[in-house]
Every structure is written in structure tokens, then in C-alpha cells.
Amino acid sequence: MKSRKEFKEIYLRAIKPKLVRFERARNKMRRQIFLLAIASFVANIYVVHFVLGITEALFSILPAFLVSVTFGSYKYWAFRREFKNKLIAKVFELAFPDFTYRPNGVDEVGDSGGALEVLKDFTNSKIGNLSQMAEFNRTSLFLSESNTFRYEDEISGKLGKTDVCVSEVFAKRVTGSGKNRRVENIFSGLFFKLDFHKNFSQHTVIRPDFAERFLGGLIGNKLQKMGSSFSNLKLVRMEDPRFEKLFAVYSSDQNEARYLITPKLMEKFVELQKSNKGRVSCAFFEQKFYIAISSRKNRFEPSFFGSVLPFADLKDIYEVLELLQRLVEEFELNTRLWSKE
């Protein structure tokens, strides 16, 4: 992978000139939205007050507001689509050619940017999200199952012998409606899917441990045991106290859990958690090693209000790839000492 300095050079030489064009397009989009909003408000007031003679304040602005929001959303979605499909994809082509970038985790439709394609793209991303949601839920990384899910900015490729994939995930669980509507934020952040260097057939998860951290070893452990008694994933106690304080391991086979989670791997998890502000969770499932690192940041998005020119926004791409590489190196995923090729 290219160094940070090399990436900055590529940014200055080849990406910044393209960003200038996008900055112009962003300004144009904002002007169009602003003008349409003004025009629709004026037309709205004229029609409602002078033609129809209605004096209620709600009718004076509501239609114009709805028109402006719909037009604004459509324009921004189209701009965002262009930004991701053309600019971010170009960044990968120039700086990280070994990786594939898919903005919505599905193969894109055409390239013309017409209204129909924007709509198709929107529908495709929703369909793609459904299959990704099923996979995310199957990992049992979190106790609640998500039913409102967004999957975007997928980067996939190979680092050495290891297949890697990282994406942004926003998972929620929405229940009830009206006044009883409840939204539970399950996870938002980076979701890694990596090839593991050992074969395994069972299901093991590592979740952040709140019970033991806040209630102490004895009570926390009892609570964890009670929590896992109805699931097929049972609590597995590990030997490293530093690891146990931060994480709880659940598995359908405790021997396999210990085969996968060696003392060295536990140390690496402690280091990973300490060096990240977000919560770290992990699952070993269907021959894949999933890592979820929570974050409040929504990466790879073009700004609506601010300029798209600064390097800081593109730096996110580099930082995600750096983290990906770090995970492969720290967990020694390219080391094939075991029977897996």
C-alpha cells in the first residue's frame, strides 16, 4: 500500500483538479436548490393567498417546503452518487488499484446520471442492504437483530493471502409505531470481513463486556451466564484478566473458541480496544472473521454546506485502509502455519 506522503502527492497532482470541478458542481447544486426554494415559496404564497384566498399559515408554506425538500434530496442524492462513483472510485483507481470500491455494496447501474438511473441506484442499494443485513444479523455480533439497515462504501481486495472487505454499517431496530415507536441504535461504524488463517466450523463471538466492567467479576459473570443460558452461544471464560474485563466470549464450542482466541490474540484485542475510541466486537462465523468497530463518523460523504476540496475528507479513505492493514498484520492473518492454505 502507498505511504501517506505518496497519497498526498497523488491528491495534489491528480485528485485536486477533479475536486475543483466537483466543488463547482456543489455550488451550482446549492444555488439551484436555493432558487427553487425561493420560487416555490413565492408561487405557493401567491396561489394560496391571492388565487385560492386561503389565509391559514400552514398552507402558505407546506407545499413549497415539501417541493423544496424533495428537489433538494434528489439533487443531493444525484451529486453524492456522482461524487462516489466518479471521484472516490478514481481515488481508488489512482492510489489503491488493488482494492475495489462499491459505494452501495452492489454493482452499479449505468453511468449517465439520469433521473431514472438515480432511482434505480437508490432501489438497488435498498435491495443490497437486505442481503447484507441478513449476513450482519447471522453473525450475532450484537444481541438485538437489526431491521433497519444501511450498508455503504464497501472496499474489498486482497492483502497478501487474506481476502479483506470493509464497509460502513448503520444498524437499528425499530419497533412499534406512532407514540410507541422505539428506535434502538444497534451499531454504526466500520464493519470488517476478513479471511481467518485457521479453519473452524462453529460460531464464536467476542462482545464488549459491560456487566463485568461495572458490576465486578462475580456478579458480572453470573449475569453473563444467565444471559447466555437461552442462546446456543454459551459464555466461555478466558484466562487473561485484562481481556476478560473488556470483553465477553460466547461460543457454540468452547474448545474451538480457545483454539481461535489464543492468549496472543487476546492481547491484540486488548491493544485494539485501547487504541480505538469505538467499541470493538468480533465474530468467527462461516469461515470468516468479522470485526465491528463503532464510530459516529459517516465517512466518504461529500459535504453539502462546506467545501469538498480539503485533503482531510479524503484522508478518511487512507485511515480506513491503514486500519485494515493493521488488522491483517496484528492478527497475523497472512501467517499460514496451520492446515489452512
Size of the site for another protein (CB under 8 A): 16
Which is nearer to another protein, 235 or 308 (by Cβ)? 235
Query: By CB under 8 A, is residue 255 in contact with another protein?
Result: yes
How far apart, in Å, are the Cα atoms of 64 and each of 40, 70, 77, 82, 316? 5, 10, 20, 27, 37
Task: List, in sequence order, the alpha helices (H) in the chain.
Answer: 4-10, 16-45, 57-82, 89-95, 115-138, 211-215, 217-228, 241-246, 254-260, 263-274, 311-330
Which is nearer to another protein, 16 or 198 (by Cβ)? 198
Which is nearer to another protein, 168 or 256 (by Cβ)? 256
Interacting residues with another protein between 14 and 73 (CB under 8 A): none
Which is nearer to another protein, 206 or 236 (by Cβ)? 236
Which is nearer to another protein, 82 or 332 (by Cβ)? 332
Helix, strand, or coil (residue 259) = helix
Which is nearer to another protein, 21 or 225 (by Cβ)? 225
Query: By CB under 8 A, is residue 258 in contact with another protein?
Result: yes
Pick the binder of another protein from 188, 212, 256, 323 (CB under 8 A). 256
The answer to whether the CB of 189 falls within 8 A of the CB of 282 is no
Query: By CB under 8 A, is residue 198 in contact with another protein?
Result: yes
Which is nearer to another protein, 126 or 340 (by Cβ)? 340
Interacting residues with another protein between 304 and 333 (CB under 8 A): none
CA dihedral 17, 22, 25, 27 (to 10 degrees): -90
**3-state SS string over 120-133?**
HHHHHHHHHHHHHH
- Which span sits near another protein by CB under 8 A: 67-75, 134-142, 235-243, 306-314? 235-243
Beta strands 234-236; 204-208: pairing state: unpaired
- The one-letter code for the residue type at 31 is R
- Cell numbers linked to 92: 481508488
CA dihedral 98, 101, 107, 113 (to 10 degrees): -130
Instruction: Give strand pairing partners of 175.
Output: 182
Rounded Cα gap, residues 320 and 301, in angstroms: 14
Query: By CB under 8 A, is residue 262 in contact with another protein?
Result: yes
Query: By CB under 8 A, is residue 237 in contact with another protein?
Result: yes
Give me the least distance between CB of 139 and another protein, in Å please.
22
Give me the least distance between CB of 204 and another protein, in Å please.
12
Pick the binder of another protein from 57, 115, 312, 337 (CB under 8 A). 337
Query: By CB under 8 A, is residue 239 in contact with another protein?
Result: yes
Residues that bind another protein (CB under 8 A): 198, 236-237, 239, 254-259, 262, 335-339
